[in-house]
């Protein structure tokens, strides 16, 4: 496989986004790569630990224009924008999204799960009552994946462990867009991308990934840099994501 290694220049200003609900994913051989959430509603993000999933999600969030529901049970975000940090909160938020989305709202909701594996009931839980909040979350996620497209509701679902449990059929069938950073094996790559290849991405190149939907391309994500006011902007659905929030390397 041809490996693309294009790096970003420092302090490059990103251009204005061409249309709402589109974001810049990164850079590829001949230019910037955009993703339009109106066309492709949901996204799976996979990659070995430390290869850039959380960074990538921060870049997305800072460009999105809509309500962000961010479920982070791993503590990757310390910006005050997290909506749920444990399974009970996750359940409340997700069930509120499934109830709200059917009211056919105009504005978009982005449901972001950073580490989908945290929504699976841990093995040590034997009683159904203990598993219930996990099962409720998984069922809400499936519903968002299945129906969200028609209700301006998007799922961005990230995991370090692309296994069939975590990326179940409902989610995979409905999330055609895959963002995949380096993975340890071709087996993991097949689950995340439906083909091998992510295991061949070079080691030590963080943020270098494969973007796949109806076509497939290698890209380099930009590096998110924290700035004052970032969380205020994200919380306000009226404010269009500004594109000068990044330092790019
Ligand atoms: N696009 C990028 N360009 C340059 N460096 C990057 C990029 N993405 C990630 N990195 C570097 O890699 C580090 C780890 O990235 P990140 O926290 O996003 O990984 P992760 O995939 O979320 O890992 P984990 O699964 O452990 O949560 C970042 O702190 C940053 O230094
Ligand atoms: Mg992370």
CATH number at residue 115: 3.40.50.300
Q: Each residue of 21-77: pLDDT tens digit?
A: 899 898 888 888 899 999 999 999 999 999 999 999 988 887 888 889 999 999 888
106 within domain boundaries: yes
243 within domain boundaries: no
93 within domain boundaries: yes
Q: How many domains does the chain have?
A: 1
183 within domain boundaries: yes
Per-residue burial over 63-95, b if 16 or more Cβ lie within 10 Å, else e, is: bbbbbbbbbbbeebbeeebbbbeebeebbebbe
| Ion ligand 2 nearby residues (CB, 5 A) | 53-54, 76
Task: Determine the structural domain holding residue 193 and report its residue range.
Answer: 22-235
230 within domain boundaries: yes
5 within domain boundaries: no
Q: Each residue of 156-181: pLDDT tens digit?
A: 999 999 999 999 989 999 999 999 99
Q: Is 177 in the pocket of ligand 1 (CB under 6 A)?
A: no
9 within domain boundaries: no
The protein residue with its alpha carbon nearest to ligand 1, atom 18, reads: 52
Q: Is the pLDDT of residue 249 over 60?
A: no
Nearest-ligand number for the alpha carbon of 179: 1
4 within domain boundaries: no
**Sheet containing strand 216-220, strands side by side:** 31-36, 22-28, 216-220, 208-212, 177-181, 43-46, 153-159, 109-114, 67-72
The protein residue with its alpha carbon nearest to ligand 1, atom 16, reads: 52
User: How close is the Cα of 102 to the center of ligand 2, in Å?
Assistant: 31
Q: Is 221 in the pocket of ligand 1 (CB under 6 A)?
A: yes
Q: Is 247 in the pocket of ligand 1 (CB under 6 A)?
A: no
User: How close is the Cα of 178 to the center of ligand 1, in Å?
Assistant: 17
User: How close is the Cα of 176 to the center of ligand 1, in Å?
Assistant: 23
């Amino acid at each position: 496989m041809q490996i693309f290694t294009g790096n970003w220049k420092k302090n490059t200003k990103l251009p204005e986004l061409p249309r709402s609900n589109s974001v810049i994913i990164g850079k590829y051989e001949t230019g910037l790569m955009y993703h339009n959430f109106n066309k492709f509603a949901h996204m799976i993000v996979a990659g070995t630990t430390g290869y850039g999933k959380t960074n990538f999600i921060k870049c997305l969030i800072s460009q999105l224009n809509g309500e962000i529901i961010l479920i982070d049970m791993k503590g990757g975000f310390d910006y005050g924008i997290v909506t749920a940090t444990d399974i009970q909160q996750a359940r409340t938020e997700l069930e509120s999204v499934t109830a709200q989305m059917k009211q056919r709202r105009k504005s978009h909701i982005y449901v972001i799960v950073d580490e989908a594996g945290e929504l699976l009931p841990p093995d040590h839980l034997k009683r159904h009552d203990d598993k219930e909040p996990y099962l409720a979350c998984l069922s809400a996620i499936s519903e968002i994946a299945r129906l969200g497209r028609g209700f301006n509701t998007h799922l961005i679902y990230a995991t370090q462990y692309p296994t069939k449990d975590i990326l179940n059929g409902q989610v995979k069938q409905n999330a055609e867009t895959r963002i995949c950073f380096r993975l340890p094996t071709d087996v993991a790559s097949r689950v995340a991308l439906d083909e091998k290849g992510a295991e061949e991405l070079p080691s030590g190149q963080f943020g270098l990934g494969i973007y796949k939907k109806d076509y497939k391309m290698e890209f380099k994500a930009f590096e998110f840099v924290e700035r004052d006011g970032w969380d205020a902007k994200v919380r306000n659905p009226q404010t269009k994501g500004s594109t000068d929030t990044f330092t790019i390397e």
